[in-house]
Amino acid sequence: QVDLLESGGGSVHAGGSLKLSCTYSSWRSIYCMAWFRQSPGKEYEGIASIPTGLGDIRYADSVKDRFTISLDNAKNTLYLQMDNLKPEDSAKYYCAADFRRCGWFMLYEKKENLGGWGQGTLVTVSS
């Protein structure tokens, strides 16, 4: 129902920055976009969500004040600006879309219940 493609991952030193992008397309009206991540051996973590219309942006405590989620509806592109990166931010980052959930309802939802999920882009932060 929705196609998502992430880009922008890479390797940086601690304290550095990266900006991830996610282009999306869907024949249905998307209600909310979000970023998730998964480190080896850990569960998926929802880190930021943004509604496509009116509503609040949400961040997990682990990334608050360091990461910024934004959305360009005209370009159908979701972004994640990541600053002051830490080694514990190393993970595969995924963008996701949903047609009815947003905020914590989306960030804590199971992957298989969401409207769409990308293939991911790898971020490695070295100390």
Residue 6 to residue 18: CA distance in whole angstroms: 13
Q: Can you give the pLDDT at residue 59?
A: 98
**Rounded CA gap, 8 and 88, in Å?**
18
Q: What's the pLDDT score for residue 32? A: 97
pLDDT in tens, the chain (127 residues): 899 999 999 999 999 999 999 999 998 999 999 999 999 889 999 999 999 999 999 999 999 999 999 999 999 999 999 999 999 999 999 999 999 999 999 999 998 999 999 999 999 999 9
Which tokens belong to 107? 């960030």
Q: Kind of pairing, strands 10-13 and 121-126?
A: parallel
Q: What is the pLDDT of residue 74?
A: 93
